[in-house]
């Protein structure tokens, strides 16, 4: 009985938390990108523009729901749901603090990897059910990209799992005496790039590339369904930020092992999540996007060998020094630098002009 | 067993966020590869050449502003030079230097916009574009100070410019010229070695030198393909033969070379501006010209190096107050005829970049 | 061996954007709470007519490329022209200033206010009562240097210091 109560309350808390944090993230993104571009961002609705997402939500809810008449209606209707729900399900195993977790599975990270792959199906359903050439092109690019980037992503997670010795998220946090971002910089880089591709953020946002295919797979969506896509994207970004914090930044733990309890640890966790999101934002504001064949080449020829090498190095280190002394930080940074520089000498994207 | 595939015809229609203006491209795609492309334009045709036949020579000057609306001073200058050649009007030296200053400022502004939108098409979420707009805003403020408008200037007249610059113009221009090279260095730091830009723009959309020569391409597009042709050197007008500047050229003729040529041309324009401000003489800015200009019968062709290429005005006069025929050689239109050859064999995303790197303005193409 | 494609260019670009985000203040202006001063010679979206100096010679109407000015005159007392109708269609006007330049008696000026939106296109055709100067319709100094003294100086972006932190930082939490 108490278990059911625990789960019900936590599910409610997580739902409310994610919805509120998604609104906060939307505001951080818009004002953050505006700050990079030396302009204020939304500042009219509410103090400092804080009610702008509410205004957007009201606008989106009062719009007419347009369904293409020749598209596959059931597929068109289910697609936003399939994209939106997995982002929520990831939060079931994220430990916000010691003991503050909905379901302490001992296969936590495996559950996350499995669930986040379901979103790909939703994206393709959206493209197919829209009966639109642009959407179909966008959806096919999306599937190719998301599927290819899961492999380096999972390999970098394997590195973390080897070092922590467990798949459960709480154990990974507790075993991080030194945060894994310092011990495995190459793993963090690969995880970051793989997650950018899973989230369809720049430099891999060719799906929503306005300059080419208008809006990709969500061209034909309006009203609440478009809101579900939009919210689902930010909820997924929040989930990835949370997972990055747990895996690489040490979760709720303060530096130098200061013991802390409810408000401080929770706020520290949130601060780390926002910091990861700001890193995504900084990358988005600066660099252009890649073309689809370059995206695929980067995944298979660029990140995949690096991820394999990373996993091998970490396996060797865990075997020889199981308690990971701190000089390993310098060794790993040096190894990462050498690998990146050498591999970039051999990596070229190929592609190019096809004889017509 | 070969899978049977079918090419798809996609219409990157007149309303598209990235075609610069109302331009339509019907591309035939095989997967992602473009196997055929047909440009369709004419959505912005206003009949300017026909309107010229019913306007006096002076009344047509504001209409030339609307051709390449992002570089209005250059259009004014081309037309005014053609009429002065036709009617034999001479220009005082201060007016010539002021015209050079305006033309070079216009070149910097137009190239800032061209490069900014090129990077925007590559996908950089408008951040480099907004940084370049900041400098363009300073230039537009200076233009507003001189002639009262920010986009369609109507500043050149036959025999000089319409009125003198106010006394606070030159100090502001000197300050701009002093700090602009620092900003161009910032753009280089942001973009010149950016690996993603290199991967997307190097080797893409190559325009071979022979094709460029045969298609009479001009401007930065031709210079990036290795043709060293600049009308300011080849057929100097105004006082360009008194200035010391280089003509930057590229070697390969891909999108990256066009982008580099425009950045280098901005630096050379700053050089010319420094020299022009130093050498600016005093004197009148407009010679005495009758109110209604009535050139003798004949024809004349006046051409300038506009930011987009060679802009030419061909005027035929029959002795009355309005031209008998005015034909405009629009550089964007001629440069765009090579678009199909540049785009075939590349992917859909590259078509947008190649189109952005030619830098066309639909006002010129359609007239 | 050339090691120049390992991400150094991207890192430099990201350093530049971070520097902009942390040290540069906003360059936008909060309209309508803050307004910049336009140029003294602005060819604003309206015209100002001086009936005292106008002799109804219709040179302005002949100079306009589009024929926006409609003048109907009659002979009044002491043998001078009197304008019955003097209308300018602001909807078709390009604001090129050829009419202002052409007037031999300096009776027509460009205006300088710009918040002139109306709800109906017909109300853009302004007759002679509306065209006169008033306290909401001021002439600009385009081709009329005698008005320059009463117009404030233009705000130039090139004079606003945006490098570094000397100016008041309007970036971070400005409402």
Q: Three-state SS string across B179-247, please?
A: HHHHHHHHHHHHHCCCHHHHHHHCCCCCCCHHHHHHCCCCCHHHHHCCCCCCHHHHCCCCCHHHCCCCC
| Cα four-point dihedral sign A312, A316, A318, A323 | negative
What is the residue whose two structure tokens read 């733990």? Answer: A253
pLDDT of residue A66: 80
pLDDT tens for B140-166 read 989 988 888 888 888 888 988 988 888
Confidence of residue A1 (pLDDT cuts 50, 70, 90): low
B144 three-class SS: helix
* Chain B residues inside the 8 Å CB shell of C43: 147-149
Helices (H), chain A: 2-36, 52-61, 73-89, 108-116, 119-129, 133-164, 169-174, 180-183, 185-198, 210-213, 224-248, 262-286, 292-297, 304-320, 327-346
Distance separating alpha carbons of residues C150 and C28, to the nearest angstrom: 27
Strongest mean pLDDT among A57-71, A172-186, B220-234, C24-38: B220-234
According to the model, what pLDDT value does residue A210 have?
53
Q: Which residues of A touch C5 (CB under 8 A)?
A: 344-345
Binary contact (B146, C7; C-beta < 8 A): no
Query: Is the separation of the CB atoms in C123 and C65 below 8 Å?
Result: no
Tell me if A291 and B196 make a contact (CB, 8 A cut-off): no
Chains with 3 or more CB pairs closer than 8 angstroms to A?
Answer: B, C
* pLDDT tens per residue, range B89-103: 889 999 999 999 999
A165: left (phi > 0), else alpha (psi -120 to 50), else beta? left
Q: Using the beta-carbon criterion (under 8 Å), do B166 and C40 form an inter-chain contact?
A: yes
Reading the block at residue C56, the tokens are 């109804």
Pair B84, B91: CB distance under 8 Å:
yes
- Which chain B residue's Cα is nearest to A34? B127
Q: Nearest CB to B196: which of A39, A213, A288?
A: A288
3-state SS assignment for residue A179:
coil
Which of A40, A286, A341 is opposite residue C3, by nearest beta carbon? Answer: A341
Which of A29, A143, A197, A288 to probe by mutation at the B interface, max B CB count within 10 Å? A288
Of all residues in chain A, the one with the smallest CA distance to C2 is A345
The whole-model pTM stands at 0.88
d(CA C20, CA C26): 10
- Report the DSSP beta bridge partners of residue C69: C88
Residue C12: list chain A partners with CB under 8 A: none
Using pLDDT thresholds of 50, 70 and 90, give the confidence band for residue C161.
low
**Cβ-Cβ contacts under 8 Å, A45 against chain C:** none
Q: Record the tokens describing residue A192, joined without a space.
A: 């970051």
Helix and strand numbers, DSSP H then E, in chain C: 4, 5
Cβ distance A35 to C21 less than 8 Å, yes or no, reads yes
C8: enclosing H helix or E strand: helix C8-23
Question: Is C142–B142 a contact, with Cβ atoms under 8 angstroms apart?
Answer: no
Residue B301: per-residue pLDDT: 92
What does the pLDDT read at residue A155?
92
How many residue pairs bridge chain A and chain C with CB atoms within 8 Å of each other? 52
> Does residue A232 carry a pLDDT above 80?
yes
Q: What is the rounded distance in angstroms from the CA atom of residue B358 to the CA atom of residue B365?
A: 13
Beta bridge partners of B304: B311
Q: Which of A211, A215, A286, A292 to mutate to test the interface with B (most CBs of B within 10 A)?
A: A211
Would you state the pLDDT for residue B98?
92
What pLDDT, on the 0 to 100 scale, is given for residue A208? 66
Given a cut of 80, whether residue C130 has pLDDT beyond it is no
Q: Hey, are the CB atoms on C174 and A47 less than 8 Å from each other?
A: no
* Contact residues, chain A, for C175 at CB < 8 Å: 43, 47-48
When CB atoms are compared, the residue of C8, C65, C153 closest to B55 is C65
On chain C, the residues whose CB falls within 8 A of the CB of A286 are 10, 13-14, 17
Which of residues B16 and A277 earns the better pLDDT score?
Answer: A277
Using an 8 Å CB-CB cutoff, list chain B residues near C102.
Answer: 291
Residue C70 burial by Cβ neighbours in a 10 Å radius (0-12, 13-18, 19+)? middle
Q: How many CB atoms lie within 10 A of CB C22?
A: 12
pLDDT digits (tens, 9 = 90+) for A89-122: 888 888 887 777 777 788 888 888 888 888 888 8
Whole-number pLDDT of residue B263: 92
B9 Cβ neighbours under 8 A, 6+ residues apart: B26, B27, B28, B29
Residue C153 to chain B, least CA–CA distance (Å)? 10
Q: What's the confidence (pLDDT) of residue A275?
A: 92
The candidate with the shortest Cα–Cα distance to C60, out of C78, C44, C48, C75, is C48
**Is-cis flag, bond preceding A110, omega within 30?**
no
Nearest CA in chain A to C169: A38
Counting Cα atoms < 13 Å in the Cβ hemisphere of C31 gives: 6
The CA distance from C41 to A127, in Å, is 54
Q: What is the value of ipTM here, to two decimals?
A: 0.83
Q: Tell me what pLDDT residue B316 has.
A: 92
pLDDT, tens digit, for every residue of B280-325? 999 898 888 888 888 889 889 988 999 999 999 999 998 888 899 9
- Mutation site for A-interface testing, chosen from B12, B19, B116, B123 by largest number of A Cβ within 10 Å: B123
168-227 in chain B: CB under 8 A from chain C: 168, 172, 175-176, 179, 186, 189-198
CA distance B356 to B197: 14
Nearest Cβ partner for B123 among A33, A288, A356: A288
State the Cα–Cα distance between residues B158 and B323, nearest whole angstrom: 14
Q: Identify the pLDDT of residue A276.
A: 92
CB B18 within 8 A of CB B121: yes
Which of B78, B83, B64 shows the shortest CA–CA distance to B316? Answer: B83
pLDDT tops 70 at residue A344: yes
Residues of chain A in contact with residue C1, where contact means CB-CB under 8 angstroms, are 345
* Residue with tokens 């530096």, as numbered in its chain: A255
Q: How far is the C-alpha of B348 from the C-alpha of B350, rounded, in Å?
A: 5
pLDDT of residue A54: 87
Could you give the dihedral angle defined by the CA atoms of residues A241, A243, A249 and A255, in that order, rounded to the nearest 10 degrees?
Answer: 100
Residue B360: other Cβ atoms inside 10 A:
26
Highest mean pLDDT among A42-46, A255-259, C5-9: A42-46
**How many whole angstroms separate alpha carbon A8 and alpha carbon A27?**
29
> Minimum mean pLDDT among A20-34, A126-140, B54-68, C87-101: which range?
A126-140
pLDDT band at C18 (very low <50, low <70, confident <90, very high): confident
- Listed ranges A129-133, A221-225, B235-239, C112-116; the one with the highest mean pLDDT: B235-239
Q: Which helix (H) or strand (E) holds B25?
A: strand B24-30
């Amino acid at each position: 009985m108490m278990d059911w109560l625990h789960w019900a309350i936590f599910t409610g808390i997580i739902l409310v938390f994610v919805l509120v944090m998604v609104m906060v993230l939307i505001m951080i993104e818009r004002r953050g990108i505006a700050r990079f571009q030396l302009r204020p961002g939304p500042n009219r609705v509410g103090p400092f523009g804080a009610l702008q997402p509410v205004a957007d939500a009201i606008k989106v809810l009062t719009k007419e729901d347009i369904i293409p008449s020749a598209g596959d209606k059931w597929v068109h209707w289910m697609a936003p749901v399939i994209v939106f729900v997995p982002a929520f399900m990831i939060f079931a195993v994220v430990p916000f603090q010691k003991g503050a977790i909905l379901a302490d599975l001992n296969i936590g990270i495996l559950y996350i990897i499995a669930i986040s792959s379901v979103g790909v199906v939703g994206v393709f359903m959206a493209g197919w059910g829209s009966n639109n050439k642009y959407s179909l092109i966008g959806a096919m690019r999306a599937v190719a990209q998301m599927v290819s980037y899961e492999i380096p992503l999972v390999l970098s997670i394997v590195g973390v799992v080897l070092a922590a010795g467990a798949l459960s998220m709480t154990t990974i946090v507790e075993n991080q005496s030194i945060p894994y971002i310092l011990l495995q910089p190459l793993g963090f880089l690969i995880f970051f790039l793989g997650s950018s591709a899973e989230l369809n953020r720049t430099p891999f946002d060719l799906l929503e590339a306005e300059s080419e295919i208008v809006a990709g797979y969500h061209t034909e969506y309006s009203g609440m369904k478009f809101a579900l896509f939009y919210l689902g994207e930010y909820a997924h970004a929040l989930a990835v930020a949370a997972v990055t914090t747990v895996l690489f930044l040490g979760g709720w733990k303060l530096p130098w092992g200061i013991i802390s309890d409810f408000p401080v640890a929770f706020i520290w966790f949130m601060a780390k999540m926002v910091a990861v999101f700001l890193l995504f934002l900084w990358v988005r504001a600066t660099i252009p996007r890649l073309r689809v064949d370059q995206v695929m080449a980067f995944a298979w020829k660029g990140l995949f060998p690096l991820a394999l090498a990373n996993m091998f190095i970490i396996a060797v280190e865990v075997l020889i020094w199981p308690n990971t002394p701190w000089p390993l930080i310098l060794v790993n940074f040096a190894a990462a630098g050498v690998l990146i520089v050498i591999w970039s000498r051999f990596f070229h994207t190929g592609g190019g002009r096809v004889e017509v | 067993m070969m899978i049977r595939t079918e090419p798809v015809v996609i219409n990157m229609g007149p309303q598209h966020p990235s075609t610069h203006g109302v331009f339509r491209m019907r591309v035939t795609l095989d997967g992602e590869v473009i196997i055929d492309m047909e440009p369709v334009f004419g959505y912005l045709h206003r009949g300017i050449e026909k309107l010229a036949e019913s306007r006096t020579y002076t009344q047509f000057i504001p209409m030339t502003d609307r051709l390449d609306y992002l570089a209005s001073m250059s259009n004014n200058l081309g037309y005014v030079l053609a009429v002065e050649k036709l009617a034999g009007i001479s220009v005082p030296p201060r007016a010539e230097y002021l015209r050079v200053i305006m033309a070079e400022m216009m070149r910097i502004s137009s190239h800032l916009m061209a490069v900014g939108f090129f990077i925007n098409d590559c996908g950089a979420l408008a951040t480099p574009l907004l940084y370049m707009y900041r400098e363009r805003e300073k230039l537009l403020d200076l233009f507003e100070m001189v002639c009262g408008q920010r986009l369609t200037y109507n500043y050149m007249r036959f025999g000089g410019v319409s009125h003198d610059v106010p006394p606070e113009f030159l100090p502001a221009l000197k300050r701009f010229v002093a700090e602009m090279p620092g900003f161009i260095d910032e753009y280089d730091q942001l973009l010149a070695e950016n690996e993603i830009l290199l991967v997307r723009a190097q080797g893409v959309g190559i325009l071979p030198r022979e094709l460029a020569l045969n298609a009479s391409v001009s401007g930065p597009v031709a210079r990036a393909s290795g043709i060293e042709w600049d009308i300011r050197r080849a057929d100097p007008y105004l006082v360009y033969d008194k200035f010391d500047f280089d003509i930057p050229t590229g070697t390969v003729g891909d999108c990256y070379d066009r982008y580099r040529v425009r950045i280098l041309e901005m630096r050379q324009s700053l050089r010319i501006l420094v020299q022009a401000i130093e050498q600016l003489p005093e004197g009148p800015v407009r010679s005495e010209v009758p109110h209604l200009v009535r050139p003798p019968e004949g024809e004349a062709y006046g051409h300038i190096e506009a930011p987009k290429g060679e802009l030419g005005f061909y005027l035929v006069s029959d002795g009355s107050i309005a031209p008998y025929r005015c034909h405009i050689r629009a550089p964007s239109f001629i440069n765009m005829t090579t678009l199909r050859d540049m785009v075939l064999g590349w992917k859909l995303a590259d078509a947008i970049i190649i189109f952005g790197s030619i830098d066309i303005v639909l006002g010129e193409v359609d007239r | 061996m050339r090691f120049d494609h390992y991400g150094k260019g991207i890192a430099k670009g990201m350093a530049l954007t971070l520097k902009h985000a942390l040290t540069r203040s906003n360059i936008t202006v909060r309209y309508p709470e803050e307004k910049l001063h336009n140029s003294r010679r602005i060819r604003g979206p309206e015209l100002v007519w001086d009936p005292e100096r106008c002799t109804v010679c219709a040179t302005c109407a002949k100079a306009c490329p589009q024929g926006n000015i409609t003048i109907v005159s009659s002979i009044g007392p002491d043998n001078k022209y009197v304008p019955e109708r003097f209308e300018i269609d602001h909807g078709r006007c390009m604001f090129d200033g050829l009419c202002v330049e052409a007037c031999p008696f300096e009776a027509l000026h460009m205006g300088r206010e710009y918040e002139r939106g109306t709800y109906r296109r017909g109300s853009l055709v302004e007759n002679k009562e509306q065209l006169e100067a008033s306290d909401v319709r001021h002439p600009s100094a385009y081709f009329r240097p005698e008005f320059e003294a009463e117009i404030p100086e233009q705000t130039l972006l090139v004079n606003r210091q945006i490098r570094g932190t000397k100016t008041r930082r309007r970036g971070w939490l400005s409402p």
